[in-house]
Amino acid sequence: MVDDGPRDGRGVVEIQDSARRAQEKAASFGPQITELPTAPMPDERPFTLRQIDQARGDLYAPQDDLDFIKVQLARLPTRNEVWRAAMLGMLGGAVAAVTLIEAFARPCL
């Protein structure tokens, strides 16, 4: 003989209660979709072209700023150009100093 629970008839009620609790627990994991919407709600309005254009402008503004910075950085002289200008400046200054010293030292003696 199989024991189905207490003999006072409460076994069936306990099984139905546990099934109901299992369904409630499954429903608590996420929303139950009973029907899919077929049309947008009347109070939902799509964006206007002006709003979309403004949003695009806001999104692309940082990109434009970055492009401007890249152009400015590309205009900076390279390390080789800076070295060449410094060497030519020092060499030219040395030549000018020696020339001036020799030019004014002769008449003063």
Q: What is the mean pLDDT of residues 76-102?
A: 95
Digit-coded pLDDT (tens) for 11-43: 555 666 777 777 777 666 666 666 665 666 566
Residue ranges per structural domain of the chain: 48-77, 78-109
- Which residues in 25-62 are b (16+ Cβ under 10 Å) and which e? eeeeeeeeeeeeeeeeeeeeeeeeeeeeeeeeeeeeee
pTM of the complete model = 0.38
Location of structure tokens 């207490």: 6
Q: Given this model, what pLDDT does residue 1 score? A: 46
SS (H, E, C) 65-93: HHHHHHHHHHHCCCHHHHHHHHHHHHHHH
Q: What is the mean pLDDT of the chain?
A: 77
Q: How far is CA 88 from CA 5, 45, 75, 81, in A?
A: 105, 68, 21, 11
Q: Given this model, what pLDDT does residue 87 score? A: 98
| 8-state DSSP, 106 | H
